[in-house]
């Protein structure tokens, strides 16, 4: 058997204050690419419930972080990922990946997508519907990974193998987005607390 | 139901810690609880894919992709290298994105108020896909150092920000390229957050005379390593619990 000579992963560095220039130049104040990546997670053909997900990222002083970039990775409504190992075909135009930035004035972020279906867990378990999130910003030396679950999936959440890895049951609640309705649209609110009393659970994936 | 082969556990000793008090912004932006380690699922071993239809012809050429009738001012450089995984295999067809300041250290960003001027012919961002060998290249101008409000006289070394994907979301990485010989490297709090000299060395691009275009453009070489994937030695072994 071939025994590889291992390399070591390139070390992370903060994305810095001007991450928007590279990854969302329109937000930095200039147009350069014909199409920016990540604005349309689900595409026009995705089946399932259209939802909006929104929130803020709060620092250890309680202040909103106004220079964050978030990326989302999710399955489609049937729980399939747009990937060769994603479990099956997805709708044409469904990428399942999105990228948003926070508003420079308010720190609010939001993205429009479809609600993902349940996905297979390890060893025959089932994962509750969730969206994987990754956040980078000035002051964050290595991107923070978390998961967003849905308040109205209480039964599935109770059986979710990842939520159940979190020994402190009160901390699981930091991963549950709260459902509201606004102008006929379903909105899930998900505030991420980097530090402090209600610190969001972050994962080493 | 099979369980997918995992990517190697991230060696957190290779990366800067979340809390680095000398990098002041990290103090309020670092979790206080330990990360919770997950065994990977389909959610972690999959990730977004991109195709050539996502890009424009000049996206990788920062000398031309924002030119308004002239070339940007500055030292013309090629930045190139390979994206490999920890098993030393090429990471093919993966998205590499970069962003940087201009030759004077000024970013084209509405929040950057440094007095060095904007270059009318320079945007400062580029993107490309690696080829079948994991190879990528960009053309740009060498960025300048710039001051930042950390300590009152802190200056960032010249650097280019890099964002890389790989086939799984667990490999997602953002880092910074530095230039060989830059005397600002040893005094930078962001770089000194790294655990050891080998980590700084891994982020330092080397002058590459072989790739230099005579009388035209000088070249730097920067290879990137993403997490590798475990070979399945004992397939689908059930956990002991």
- The complex scores an ipTM of 0.95
Facing A141 at nearest CB: one of B16, B111, B239? B16
Is residue B156 part of the annotated active site? The answer reads yes
Under 8 Å between Cβ of A159 and A144: no
CB contacts of B195 in chain A (<8 Å) are 11
Residue A140: Cβ-neighbour burial (10 angstroms; 0-12, 13-18, 19+): buried
Cβ pair B162, B175 in contact under 8 A: yes
For residue A68, give both structure tokens.
């964050």
Q: Does residue B181 contact residue B196 with C-beta atoms inside 8 Å?
A: no
B170-187 pLDDT tens trace: 999 999 999 999 999 999
pLDDT at A8 over 90: yes
DSSP per-residue string spanning B79-108: EEEEEEETTS-B--S-EEEEE---TTS--S
**Do residue B65 and residue A140 have CB atoms under 8 angstroms apart?**
no
Q: Please report the DSSP string for B22-66 in residue order.
A: TSGGGTTSS-SSPPEE----HHHH------GGGS-TTTTBTTTTT
Q: How far is Cα A151 from Cα A172, in angstroms, rounded to an integer?
A: 12
To the query of whether residue B227 is one of the catalytic residues in this protein, the response is no
- pTM of the predicted structure, to 2 decimals: 0.96
pLDDT digit string, tens, across residues A41-81? 999 999 999 999 999 999 999 999 999 999 999 999 999 99
Separation of first and last alpha carbons in chain B? 17
Residues of chain B under the 50 pLDDT cut: 1, 237-241
**CA distance readout (Å), A77 to A41, A96, A99:** 12, 10, 19
Contacts of B12 in chain A (CB under 8 A): 204
CA A16 and chain centroid, separation: 20
What is the predicted pLDDT for the residue at B4? 79
Burial bucket for residue B57 (CB in 10 Å: 0-12, 13-18, 19+):
exposed
């Amino acid at each position: 058997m071939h025994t590889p000579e291992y390399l070591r992963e390139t070390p992370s560095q903060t994305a810095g204050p001007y991450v928007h220039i590279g990854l969302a130049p329109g937000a930095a104040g200039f147009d350069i690419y014909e199409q920016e990546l990540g604005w349309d997670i689900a595409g026009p053909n995705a089946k399932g419930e259209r939802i909006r997900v929104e929130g803020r990222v709060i620092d250890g002083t309680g202040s909103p972080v106004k220079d964050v970039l978030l990326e989302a990775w999710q399955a489609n409504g049937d729980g399939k990922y747009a990937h060769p190992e994603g479990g099956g075909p997805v709708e044409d135009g469904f990428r399942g990946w999105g990228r948003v930035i926070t508003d420079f004035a308010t720190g609010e972020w939001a993205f429009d997508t479809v609600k993902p279906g349940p996905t297979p867990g390890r060893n025959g378990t089932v994962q509750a519907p969730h969206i994987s999130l990754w956040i980078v910003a000035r002051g964050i030396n290595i991107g923070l990974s978390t998961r967003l679950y849905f308040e109205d999936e209480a039964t599935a959440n109770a059986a979710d193998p990842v939520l159940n890895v979190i020994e402190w049951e009160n901390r699981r609640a930091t991963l549950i987005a709260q459902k509201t309705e606004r102008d006929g649209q379903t909105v899930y609110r998900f505030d991420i607390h980097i530090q402090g009393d209600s610190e969001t659970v972050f994962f080493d994936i | 139901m099979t369980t997918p082969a995992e990517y190697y556990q991230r060696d957190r000793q290779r990366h800067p810690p979340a809390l680095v008090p000398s990098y002041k912004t990290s103090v309020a932006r670092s979790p206080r609880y330990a990360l919770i380690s997950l065994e990977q699922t389909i959610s972690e071993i999959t990730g977004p894919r991109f195709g050539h239809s996502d890009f424009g012809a000049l996206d990788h050429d920062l000398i031309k992709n924002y030119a308004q009738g002239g070339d940007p001012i500055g030292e013309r450089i090629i930045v190139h290298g390979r994206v490999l995984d920890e098993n030393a295999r090429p990471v093919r067809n993966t998205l590499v994105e970069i962003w940087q300041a201009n030759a004077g250290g000024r970013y084209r960003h509405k929040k950057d108020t440094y007095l060095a001027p904007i270059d009318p012919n320079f945007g400062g961002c580029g993107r490309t896909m690696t080829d079948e060998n994991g190879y990528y290249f960009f053309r740009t101008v060498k960025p300048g150092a710039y001051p930042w409000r950390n300590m009152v006289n802190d200056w960032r070394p010249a650097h280019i920000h890099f964002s890389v994907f790989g086939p799984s979301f667990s490999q997602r990485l953002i880092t910074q390229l530095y230039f060989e010989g830059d005397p600002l490297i040893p005094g930078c709090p962001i770089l000194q957050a790294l655990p050891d000299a080998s980590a700084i060395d891994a982020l330092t691009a080397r002058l590459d005379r072989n790739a230099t275009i005579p009388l035209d453009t000088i070249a730097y070489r920067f290879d990137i390593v993403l997490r590798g994937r475990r070979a399945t030695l004992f397939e689908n072994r059930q956990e002991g619990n």
